[in-house]
Structure 1
């Protein structure tokens, strides 16, 4: 045994001397000109980029299929006039990376980011193409980089202190906020597109007239270019239906006579929020007509300003001591409530459709929520709210099957009127606070073999959601005509004697 250790040392030395080098093959750099790279994409494509604003980064995976390592002499972009690209390679932001090694049978991730310069003569999106070049062992390989640029009006912490018109010739992009001062009117033209950065809001202390004077002459399509559209500024396909990307449109206590018509609001924390926590009179008022509000976040927001602190969950329409009149409005896919009214607020829904299907969150609150009491600065304050619902649908995916909630409703039951509507509710059946069957309402219809809507997240999955009425919908021909409301959300004529319930009239039922 005493000779074992010296013997092992000798054998170890012999192995080191006699065996060839054992450096792993994948670490040996080849200079063979046939050693080429492969790419996950032949073109790196950016969605429309607002000029002067950087994009998100796009990924490009680069593969070395060779057994040995390769050294990429240069990774670079041409950066043609009018556009600036930057690269992120191995954790380093650069315009050009050099001598980058990729081990055998390994890969490299390259991130590309673009910024496009303004082009004053271009109002429509314009195409910008560049080449991302890889030079390896004398070979040059190219991946195309393709971007669409678009000029825009930018509103960065902008305070609007005189009557202003937002035109539709270029998109509008809001950073942080745009504030409409009291006694000032902001008018938004038909067809305007408003994109908001993360957390940004349109704050209205005066008056908002959004598409207020648009008068269509015939039936519209949901994609009609005359609709004003509010959404987040993330243009990638993944973000097209994600709630909570921006803060929404907020009407402050000094706001008056607001009109929102033929407008789509999506992917925000709030759709339309009336924020009047001190209950100042007269209450801010908003009329909403022929509009769509959808994909609203459930995240609670804490509002602290002028000595007032209050927390509120997101909603399509939320009134805190404010008044809403909504006609021909679709409110869909809110992560919590669609309509909320607190502290003396008044909400009127005529020919509205609430289709509150939630697939991204576990919804805890019903679609329509009213409460007389709310804590402001930790103190409970009380004022009876008012709700009028006519010819409307209140439906959703709450597991308990309850889409109405009137907190302490017995105290203000006289302020609640719901008639000729389709309701998902067990609590407010033909007994208790509301005897709704006596008002022409249809309660808790069973879906199947007929359905309320053409397509929902739980019916025909994968299809485009469509909350127009199914051909045999129970809501068909069950409404009562209302004065001045002879057309539906898409400006289609309603049946003059037996119209359909909800925001949409069926076509050739």
Structure 2
């Protein structure tokens, strides 16, 4: 009998639950204008014109004891609105009889695109517009609304053509040594009137924009260049990139620097690596210069290819910062680079990789790697003299790799590796002078002459494994403090070549190692 009663009890409970779950006869009364909202204004982050925003949400609460139906939920601008809604899983701009049960809520998801072709949109002022709309709930005495606000920036858009019939996107063809090579890289060459980037409007690049053979792309101080996903910049054979940034009066605003970054302007994307591709200096591009630039949040910041014996170094980069890269800040392949007041940090592999030999001179530079997004295989600075393919390993000369008055540090150890394949027919020349270096070899894995720190041919007046006292490595603020062991260790001879630090502070009297003279942190 007891078992029967228990079985009957379980059956009744299950029936009651099932009947409630299948209930279709809720009695929904009209709303009375007493809705509550998770926010009274939804602020969508800054976007570019013609580019969609992220998705934002608004929660609508029915605090009453009655099931209610909202007669209308709609955008004030109607079908002409650049905002889009999704109400309880249904997309649109206007909705009727939206139901919310007692003591329950619903989500409204919001996106926007400001289409410059829409004649109903207001014009830009100083290349910006505060674009607004509102979500309206009900009418008359029960009317309620929630404001929608986003800042829209006008921009110069550079993108490849798409064939309307086939949907095929234009790809790049390059002239290499007089021969045409077709690629699968989506993009196009810059037109003659696009070869000067100014600070008047931001530039948004889709695909790869290529500087044509024999042309020069000049980027003026204060210019902002934004790359879409899988996009970047290519400097072709006999072409040149000249980035002419200038010292900013406020280092936090960077108003005079040139900035290369993603086209995602939302704060959540501010320091996300891998959002775009790379700036690629092709073999036989010439006389490339970068001064006062910030390059961030890509896959490889600068890919510098070939020409180790160029009359003028393939790349001269000064007073610049590179950070937040999925793979490398600088990936150099048998090339020539001069770097002064350079700061590189936070890369998934190496911040600076000097591969397959070449010729390099880094003075008063800070090469750091405090990557913490995943396991990191390589050190902050990687140097080798070979190129390995499926078929062979090719060795070439490392003519020189000099690091003078530098800091090479990070959250791993060691933070530099000299990966040489020895061969009597090639040279492997390098030297670290008056620098703060992180290198510990507790397992005795690194042996040979390259790691003989007493050999003054390769190492002179360096300090090892002492705290650099960076301000905030996670925010890429690598200025050094009053307690830094890099303070005062620089050689005056190198400081005279680079008399001011990256912030314009004179360093000739008592030079510190790295790109910054030390300061007292607040």
Determine if the TM-score, normalized by the shorter chain, exceeds 0.5. Answer: yes
> Where in structure 1 are there 5+ consecutive unaligned residues?
298-313, 458-463
Q: Are 1:250 and 2:280 matched, yes or no?
A: yes
* 1:322/1:23 CA distance change after superposition, 3 Å: closer
Q: Are 1:140 and 2:143 matched, yes or no?
A: yes
After the TM superposition, which residues 198-217 of structure 1 pair with which residues of structure 2 at under 5 Å, given as runs? 198-205=229-236, 206-211=239-244, 214=246, 216=247
Aligned match of 1:53 in 51, 59, 75?
51
Aligned to 2:62: 64
> RMSD between aligned alpha carbons?
3.2
Aligned match of 1:109 in 101, 107, 118?
107
Aligned match of 1:285 in 299, 309, 314?
314
TM-score, with normalisation over the residues of structure 2? 0.80
Contact 1:63 1:107 in 2 (8 A): yes
Aligned to 1:39: 37
Residue 466 of structure 1 and its aligned partner are, at CA, apart by 2.5
- Deviations 1:209-261 (CA, angstroms, capped at 9, x unpaired): 0116x4x5x96524231011111111111110111111121111131110111
TM-score, with normalisation over the residues of structure 1? 0.82
Residue 79 of structure 1 and its aligned partner are, at CA, apart by 2.3
- Deviations 1:299-342 (CA, angstroms, capped at 9, x unpaired): xxxxxxxxxxxxxxx21111122222111011111122011122
After the TM superposition, which residues 68-87 of structure 1 pair with which residues of structure 2 at under 5 Å, given as runs? 68-79=66-77, 84-87=82-85
Contact 1:211 1:262 in 2 (8 A): yes
After the TM superposition, which residues 53-202 of structure 1 pair with which residues of structure 2 at under 5 Å, given as runs? 53-79=51-77, 84-118=82-116, 122-135=125-138, 139-157=142-160, 158-162=188-192, 164-202=195-233
Aligned match of 2:501 in 488, 494, 500?
488
Residue 262 of structure 1 and its aligned partner are, at CA, apart by 0.4
Task: Find runs of 4+ consecutive structure 1 residues off by over 6 angstroms.
Answer: 21-27, 428-431
After the TM superposition, which residues 201-280 of structure 1 pair with which residues of structure 2 at under 5 Å, given as runs? 201-205=232-236, 206-211=239-244, 214=246, 216=247, 221-276=251-306
How far apart are the structure 2 equivalents of 1:280 and 1:388? 14
Question: Aligned to 1:479, what secondary structure does the other structure show?
Answer: coil
Question: Aligned to 1:433, what secondary structure does the other structure show?
Answer: helix
Aligned to 2:482: 471
Residue 369 of structure 1 and its aligned partner are, at CA, apart by 0.8
* 1:345/1:37 CA distance change after superposition, 3 Å: farther
Aligned to 1:408: 420
- Deviations 1:58-92 (CA, angstroms, capped at 9, x unpaired): 12222223344322222211228985111122333
Contact 2:71 2:138 in 1 (8 A): yes
How far apart are the structure 1 equivalents of 2:284 and 2:103? 65
After the TM superposition, which residues 263-342 of structure 1 pair with which residues of structure 2 at under 5 Å, given as runs? 263-276=293-306, 282=310, 285-297=314-326, 314-342=327-355
Contact 1:55 1:113 in 2 (8 A): yes
Q: How many residues align?
A: 462
How far apart are the structure 2 equivalents of 1:69 and 1:384? 79
Question: Aligned to 2:159, what secondary structure does the other structure show?
Answer: strand
Aligned match of 1:456 in 470, 473, 482?
473
Residue 415 of structure 1 and its aligned partner are, at CA, apart by 1.0
How far apart are the structure 1 equivalents of 2:251 and 2:125? 27
How far apart are the structure 1 equivalents of 2:21 and 2:375? 55
Question: Aligned to 1:238, what secondary structure does the other structure show?
Answer: helix
How far apart are the structure 2 equivalents of 1:44 and 1:35? 19
- Deviations 1:167-220 (CA, angstroms, capped at 9, x unpaired): 1011111111211112110001100111111111111111110116x4x5x965
How far apart are the structure 2 equivalents of 1:269 and 1:445? 29
Residue 390 of structure 1 and its aligned partner are, at CA, apart by 0.6
> Where in structure 2 are there 5+ consecutive unaligned residues?
117-121, 161-187
Residue 372 of structure 1 and its aligned partner are, at CA, apart by 1.8
Residue 138 of structure 1 and its aligned partner are, at CA, apart by 6.7
- In terms of mean alpha carbon deviation, does 153-162 or 434-443 score higher? 434-443
Residue 430 of structure 1 and its aligned partner are, at CA, apart by 10
Q: Are 1:356 and 2:369 matched, yes or no?
A: yes
Contact 1:155 1:177 in 2 (8 A): no
Contact 1:25 1:104 in 2 (8 A): no
* 1:380/1:406 CA distance change after superposition, 3 Å: same
* 1:273/1:83 CA distance change after superposition, 3 Å: farther
How far apart are the structure 2 equivalents of 1:74 and 1:395? 60
Question: Aligned to 1:271, what secondary structure does the other structure show?
Answer: strand
